[in-house]
Amino acid sequence: MLCCATLTAALAQTSMETFFKNPQIGTASLSPNGKYLATTTTIDGMLQLAIVDLETNDAKNIAGYEKLDIHHIRWISDNRLIFDVINRGSDWGNSSSYGGLYAINRDGTKSAALMPTSEHQRYSNMGEVTSKPLGLSFVSVAKDDPNSIIAIGFFYNGDAVPYKVDSVTERRKEIYFNVPGLARDFVFDNNNVLRVVVTTNVAQTEAKVWYRDTEEQAWKLLSAHSYRTPKFRPLAFDADNSTLLVAARADTGKDGIFKYDFAANKAGELIASDKGVDVGGGLVFAPDTHKLLGVRIQSEPPRTVWLDKAFAATQLGIDRAFAGQVNAITPGNAQAAMLIHSYSSTHPGNYAAYYPDKKKLQNLFAVRPGIDPKKMSEQMVYDYAARDGLALASYLTLPKGREAKALPLVVYPHGGPNARDSWGFDSTVQFLAGMGYAVLQPQFRGSTGFGDDLYRKGFRQWGLSMQDDITDGVMSLIKQGVVNPKRVCIMGASYGGYATMMGLAKDPDLYQCGVNLLGVTNLNYMFSEGRWSKDKAAEFHFKETMGDPDSMKEQFAATSPVKLADKIKAPVFMAYGEKASRVPLIHGEDMRDALKKLGKTYEYMELKDEEHGFSSQEVKYKVFGAIESFLKKYNPAQ
For 147, phi then psi, to 5°, come to -95, -5
Binned at pLDDT 50, 70 and 90, residue 128 comes out as: very low
Distance of alpha carbon 214 from alpha carbon 132, whole angstroms: 30
CB atoms inside a 10 Å sphere around CB 334: 11
Range with the lowest mean pLDDT among 92-101, 303-312, 445-454, 599-608?
92-101
Reported as a single tens digit per residue, the pLDDT across 537-568 is: 788 889 989 999 999 999 999 999 999 999 99
CB atoms inside a 10 Å sphere around CB 10: 15
Cis peptide before 549 (omega within 30 of 0): no
Q: Which residue from 402, 450, 394, 446 is spatially nearest to 423, judged by alpha carbons?
A: 394
Distance of alpha carbon 522 from alpha carbon 526, whole angstroms: 8
pLDDT at 175: 94
Binned at pLDDT 50, 70 and 90, residue 7 comes out as: very low
Distance of alpha carbon 341 from alpha carbon 295, whole angstroms: 16
For residues 525-542, give the mean pLDDT: 82
Binned at pLDDT 50, 70 and 90, residue 86 comes out as: confident
Share of the chain above pLDDT 90, in %: 78
pLDDT at 117: 62
Mean pLDDT, all residues of the chain = 90
Residue 137, pLDDT above cutoff 50 = yes
Residue 618, pLDDT above cutoff 70 = yes
Binned at pLDDT 50, 70 and 90, residue 322 comes out as: very high
For 367, phi then psi, to 5°, come to -70, -45
pLDDT at 3: 38
pLDDT at 67: 79
For residues 527-546, give the mean pLDDT: 82
Residue 89, pLDDT above cutoff 60 = no
Range with the lowest mean pLDDT among 341-350, 416-425, 440-449, 604-613?
604-613
Burial category of 5 from C-beta neighbours within 10 Å (exposed 0-12, middle 13-18, buried 19 and up) = exposed
Residue 155, pLDDT above cutoff 80 = no
Residue 126, pLDDT above cutoff 70 = no
Q: Residue 434, CB half-sphere, CA atoms under 13 Å: how many?
A: 25
Helices and strands of the chain, counted as H and E runs: 12, 35
614 close to 580: Cβ distance less than 8 angstroms: no
pLDDT at 271: 97
Burial category of 169 from C-beta neighbours within 10 Å (exposed 0-12, middle 13-18, buried 19 and up) = exposed
pLDDT at 531: 73
Distance of alpha carbon 315 from alpha carbon 325, whole angstroms: 12
Length in residues, the chain: 638
Residue 9, pLDDT above cutoff 70 = no
Of the ranges 157-171, 228-242, 552-566, the best mean pLDDT one: 552-566
Beta partners for 53?
36
Q: Which residue from 327, 352, 349 is spatially nearest to 338, judged by alpha carbons?
A: 352
| 382 SS3 class | strand
Structural domains for the chain: 2-187+197-207+299-366 (no CATH), 188-196+208-298 (no CATH), 373-634 (3.40.50.1820)
Residue 4, pLDDT above cutoff 70 = no
The pTM is what?
0.92
For residues 400-404, give the mean pLDDT: 93
Binned at pLDDT 50, 70 and 90, residue 369 comes out as: very high
Binned at pLDDT 50, 70 and 90, residue 88 comes out as: low
Residue 127, pLDDT above cutoff 50 = no
Distance of alpha carbon 562 from alpha carbon 629, whole angstroms: 25
pLDDT at 10: 42
For residues 293-316, give the mean pLDDT: 96
